[in-house]
Structure 1
């Protein structure tokens, strides 16, 4: 009896219960946007900004000299005369005075600039890559953040760029300004800088995205693989247009950052209207357009360099992430087997 019962239970007609596969949990950090992590946007932006400003620094020096009234031997608004005056009195070294301050400020500021832009673009666009308003709004938010980082070093840079600048170098300028004028002097132009860069960035990013999209449509076969020439051309157009629109505020910014140095005027309250009034009184309304040509000559190639470098950096990191993901999936498959 016991034997029959045993046989009955041993030859069960029930299907075997499948065992769950071995589970190997993995913690994956998903890229935030465009297949990149946040820190990768920062690195790509930092490299792009540094290359842009360092390569175009001599033109920036000419622009600064032309925008400062009553400060230096340069009275003409011509680029050739300004360049000749600098080379004659100071040599080639005069074109690069203050580049150390630019090197210290450009990298961190552009890391903040591009990473903030990508974050806000993703947030505002709602998944629509053709949303021009989102691009403009993201650019404005990015510039408010980056200008807080860049403005102090920009002030130091412009004071060192002046002819007969009383400062020996970056650290000497920082120490003397802190001692003689206080920390507020480093941010005297911050409000003007933001008011200038907000429309500059809005025009810049909107034009860049639109131009890049338009150029890709002209050559549909390269739409999925955007070429260097597309980024450079779109960046150049965006930089030139944005620079032309915001030149008057750039003149005001230069005046505020250089006030009291090398014979530059010192303003009572540092308001934009006060500075504009002084400029118009001394040089007429054309004074508000001083340096517009070198400013466009700076921003057009600078933007082309910056955007092409930035997009190349993004492409590098995207490929790096794809390889890393493939390696992770391969390791997972081996573990499961």
Structure 2
């Protein structure tokens, strides 16, 4: 999940004049005076539960829309028994259709729904809280935004990782005759056979993966946004959504490719013992990388880079457009009150 600046993005001077910073401060002061729970109001005038709901809906829409691509990526990254044959997107797609039919593209989607909603609620609320706490009033400080995003991701990953593990196992073996009958059956079997630690076997790798992901994402996003706005500065305000979506897509694609090796390691740790995947005595990233290189060479570390890029390119646009739409709904509702 890629985090960018979430200040309001839409304005049209013919429809509504934007308030000055002084007016915004006065409005915030009025909210503080009128509402004793105003400590829970973030910079856009929303309650934090509204931010959590908006984030939860946005996360679910993002992951549900792109779930078939995620399934293909998981199948490509799960290295089975030797010898390994090169598997491309088309071959993985055909294999899923032949073995499980179109429904095979959606195995594990229930686990994704159960994990994505709460995780994104935590992510967006923590992100907004940290940005408000760290910014000192300057909400466009990119260092603060990046730091807030990392803090949010560390906590949201703690919520999402167990269901992400269940989701990936069902993606590999969730059909008729598979190892698991569903989400609950998978959770019970993993807990009984591998213990609670199996649910968090990939957590450290996930956190380490997201650090360079956000570093590359933010650097690329800001550079692309600046370049796009310089191309047509007179239309930058009217086309701000297009600029953010385009810059986010470019940043998401590059960040996805750069962090693919760690994503492969994450998949290996989460899918241990499923469909011929190796089991690892420890959760050491180095040991997993050695196993992958031994099996499939260094190319094995880049398995699934294309569907991962296909996932993250539109994902940023989907999640942020949905998030902003839900925020706008709550803002209008709050204004009416």
Tell me, yes or no, whether TM beats 0.5: yes
Which residue does the alignment assign to 1:4? none
What is residue 98 of structure 1 aligned with on the other side? 108
Counterpart of 2:35?
A: 27
8 Å contact from structure 1 (residues 46, 109) kept in 2: yes
Give distance in 2, aligned partners of 1:63 and 1:84: 13
Where structure 2 has 5 or more consecutive residues not aligned to the other structure, the ranges are 1-32
Residue number among 74, 84, 87 corresponding to 1:77 in the alignment: 87
- TM-aligned CA deviation for residue 159 of structure 1: 0.3
> Aligned-residue CA RMSD in angstroms?
2.4
Q: How far apart in 2 are the matches of 1:55 and 1:124?
A: 33
Question: C-alpha separation between the residues in 2 aligned to 1:171 and 1:52?
Answer: 23
How far has the Cα of 1:286 moved from its partner?
Answer: 1.0
Task: Report the counterpart of residue 26 of structure 2 in structure 1.
Answer: none
CA contact (8 A) 2:158 2:203 kept: yes
Which residue of structure 1 aligns with residue 6 of structure 2? none
User: Aligned in 2, Cα 1:76/1:160: closer, same or farther, shift over 3 Å?
Assistant: same
Contact 1:61/1:96 (CA < 8 Å) preserved in 2?
yes
Structure-2 residue corresponding to 1:333: none
Partner of 2:72: 62
- 1:317 — aligned with what? 330
**1:100/1:127 Cα in 2 relative to 1: closer, same or farther (>3 Å)?**
same
How far the C-alpha of 1:58 sits from its partner, in A, is 0.5
Offset at residue 132 of structure 1 (A): 2.1
Q: Count residues with an aligned counterpart.
A: 300
> Paired residue for 1:243?
256
Work out which of the residue numbers 206, 212, 225 in structure 2 matches 1:193: 206
Residue number in structure 1 paired with 2:130: 120
C-alpha distance in 2 between matches for 1:143 and 1:217: 31
2:233 and 2:45 map into 1 onto residues whose CA distance is 22
Query: Once the two structures are superposed, what CA deviation does each residue of 1:231-281 show, in whole Å capped at 9, x if it has no partner?
Result: 422331232122112111000000000011111101121210000010111
Task: Give how far 1:212 is off.
Answer: 4.9
Please say which of residues 137-146 and 212-221 is displaced more in the overlay. 212-221
Match in the other structure for 1:263: 276
- CA–CA distance in 2 between the matches of 1:59 and 1:317? 31
Q: Distance in 2 between matches of 1:253 and 1:286?
A: 16
**Displacement of 1:205:** 4.7
- In the other structure, the counterpart of 1:18 is none
Q: CA deviation at 1:153?
A: 0.2
> In structure 2, do the counterparts of structure 1 residues 243 and 114 end up closer, same or farther at CA, with 3 Å as the change threshold?
same
* Structure 2 Cα separation of the partners of residues 226 and 37 of structure 1: 28
| In 2: Cα distance, 1:74 partner to 1:285 partner | 13
Deviation per residue, 1:299-327 (Å, 9 max, x gap): 11112111111122222222333332xxx
Q: Distance in 2 between matches of 1:103 and 1:179?
A: 24
- Taking the aligned partners of 1:295 and 1:193, their CA distance within structure 2 comes to 15
- CA–CA separation in structure 1 for the residues paired with 2:99 and 2:82: 11
TM-score normalised by the chain length of structure 1: 0.82
**Any gaps of 5 or more consecutive residues in structure 1?**
1-24, 325-337
* TM-score, normalisation: structure 2: 0.82
Change (3 A) 1:116 1:312: same
Compute the displacement of 1:194 (Å).
0.8
Greater C-alpha radius of gyration: 1
CA contact (8 A) 1:68 1:264 kept: yes
